[in-house]
Structure formats: C-alpha cells, structure tokens
Amino acid sequence: MITIQAQGGPWLLAALLSLSLASCAQNPPVPAPEPGPPPVGAVTLMTTAQPPREDLQLNIGVRVFENASQDLRTTPVNETTFARIRTMETHYLPVVLRNTLMASNQWGVVRVLPEDDPSVDLLIRGTIIESSGASLTLHVQATDSSGREWLDRVYSGRAYSMHYQQTPSAMGDGPREEMKDPFLDVYAQIANDLLTAKTERTERDIETLIHISELNHAADLSPDAFDAMLGSDGQGRLSLARLPAGNDPMLARVAAMRERHHIFIDTIDEYYDALYLDVKHLYDLWRQYSHDQVVEAQTSRRRARNSMQSADNFEVLRRNYDRYRWAKIFEQEFVGLAAGFVNETAPAVLELNRRVHGLAGSVEEQYAQWRELLRALFELETGGVFQGDDDDRLPISP
C-alpha cells in the first residue's frame, strides 16, 4: 500500500471517486460505469520457438491509440492534468501490445507508429474506451495492406490487488522492482486473435499480401508509376493486377527507399519504447493508486448503503460525514499525485517530440515531413519518369 505524509499525518493513498451519502447530498455520486464486454480472463499467449519463414513474415504497425475514455474525477481546474495522462497512455499502451506481439514470435517486425503507414503488411488501430488501475477496455481494429479486416473487437480486462503486489512501495530512490503489466491478458488475447486470423490465410494469401504492401509503398512514392499494378473492388480492398518485371530498375530504387523508410520508422519506434521505459515506474505507481481508489469507492458505496439501512441516529450521521470529509481529502491528494505524475513524465514526452533525423515538430509532423522527403527524393532519382515498359510487367495468374 502506498502512503503519503501530509500535514504531519499519514494519508492512505486511495482517493475515492465519490460517496453515496444521504448526509452529503450536495455532491452527487459518480455514476457507475456502463456495463461493457466481459473480461477476457486468464489468457495464455500463443508462442512459437520457430518463427515463420522469412518470406512469410508479416510486418505489423501499431498506430498510436485514440482516446475515448472519460475521467470522472476531472474538474475545470484539473482537466488539463488528466488529459495529459490520457495522452501519455495513447503512446504507452501500444508499446505493451507491440511487446506482446514480439514475444509471441509469430510475426516479422512490429513497430509503434504515429500514423498509418503504407509499407506495413498489417496495421493495428486502438481506441482507449476505459483505463484505470482496476479495468482496461480497448477497441482494437486490424486491417491488412489490401484493406481487408482481420480484427474488430472490444477487449476488457480487470486487475486485482495481487497484480500490484510487485509495485514499489515508494517513489523515492532505491532499486525498482519490475512489475508485469496488470492487463497482459488483454494484450495476449489480441495477439491470439490476430494469429487465428493469420492461420485462416494460405501461404499464397500471405505472399500476395506482402507484394501488395510493397506496391502500396511504391505507389505512395510514385502513384503514376505503380497505381496501375493494383486493382480495387470499389470497397477499398486491393488486389494485384500485375507485378513489375524482375529486372525493372524502378524496383531497385523502390527497395532502396523502403530500406531508408524502415530505418526512419525504426527510429520512431525506439523513441516510443524510450518513452515507455522512462514512465513505466511512475505509471505503475499511478495505476496502483487508481486501483486502490476504485476499490475504496466501491467499499464506501457498500458502507453507505448499509448505513442507510441502519437506525437513523447521530452516530450514523457522524460516520457518514467523516467519510465524506476524508473523501474530499483523498480526492485532493489524487489530483496532486496526477499533477506530479505529469510533471515527472513531461521530459520523456518532450524527448519523444524532439528533432529526429533533422526533422522538426511533433512525431506526427516529423513522420509527414519524412513521407514528403521520400517522395521528393524518389522523384529526383528517377527524374519523375517511369522507366519500365508495360510489356515487361508480369500478369498475375488466377
């Protein structure tokens, strides 16, 4: 249990969301969250000692998550503080999913990316619906480079006190004990569902998908030269119309640009990983505190209901008032901890948005600048003219 010393007395580090107390009607209780999908429960990640053949390894991009969660503790005063924590989570949680996918050994390279990327075989998008130390709900969608959907599901997980037993008991100096993410089952279920979707594809499907990814990236560099090699069914789903000839000089240039692009997005992925490592210790503490807060809120609601059912005497009213008074103190402590968390993690977030490879602005802006730079460089190297011959392009056999 984390404790904070304030004004000479020990404070329990468990801020209450609200109290349903008849004697304190001036502050209405926080509504209980709407029911969502059932928790995934205990999940074993499906791993393999032997990775797929190199020519069948699908590269995955995990895009920075969107945030749709609402923090019921926010007020006009602390709204900015909690919004910053939610923004940090949109960068942090994708790294946990990336690490889980890599641990399965079922895929090629897995990277966290700021935007959609035409070079990846499979793109994962996530939306944070609810996030606290006690529960996590994510809406996850996965689409391959041909535009076909692999996954569209809402995942929910619960954390309990046992998940926080390894959390360091103080924020001071000293060795930091590594804590497993309390919602690893959620990420394992996502990874397992993606693997199930993959096993439904044949080897030829995978090979075709990789070719589409290569031509997608080529068309992003030079639409006039490569768009005709991809067909569309009118619903955004792509197929191979034809392949460029193996001796096409444009292929070598595209491959070179692809390598440069991969180096760049590897660098961006490393920045997200650095942010994850920098804030993990504090985020673990934050989530434990948030978990304790939710547990205490639930306990207080039960006590309040029991008090309402007991005799209406002075002692009951006094206990209700005491709980309300402590709830307000805990809430102030929680907001203070939130502000401290934002201040502690701000340098890591700032570093994420520093200049990368001579580019400026946020990570998203740097990524857009890089895409434009690649297009300009490709046009400069090719003179803006497609050098192949339609007769040299290889048709796709049915």
- List, for residues 355-398, the tens digit of each pLDDT value: 454 556 677 777 787 777 777 777 766 665 444 444 444 444 44
Q: Residue 28 in 3-state DSSP?
A: coil
The answer to whether 287 touches 179, Cβ cutoff 8 Å, is no
Q: Is the pLDDT of residue 106 over 70?
A: yes
Q: Among 46-55, 190-199, 221-230, 336-345, where is mean pLDDT lowest?
A: 336-345
β-pair partners for 10: 5
Q: Residue 60 in 3-state DSSP?
A: strand
**Residue in the block written with tokens 């995934």:** 40
Label residue 326 exposed, middle or buried (CB < 10 Å: 0-12, 13-18, 19+): middle
Cα–Cα distance measured from residue 145 to residue 199, given in angstroms and rounded to the nearest whole number? 17
Q: Is the pLDDT of residue 186 over 50?
A: yes
End-to-end CA distance of the chain: 64
pLDDT tens digits, 234-274:
888 999 988 877 777 778 888 888 888 898 889 889 889 98
Label residue 308 exposed, middle or buried (CB < 10 Å: 0-12, 13-18, 19+): middle
DSSP H stretches of helix in 148-202: 184-199
Confidence (pLDDT) at 307: 57
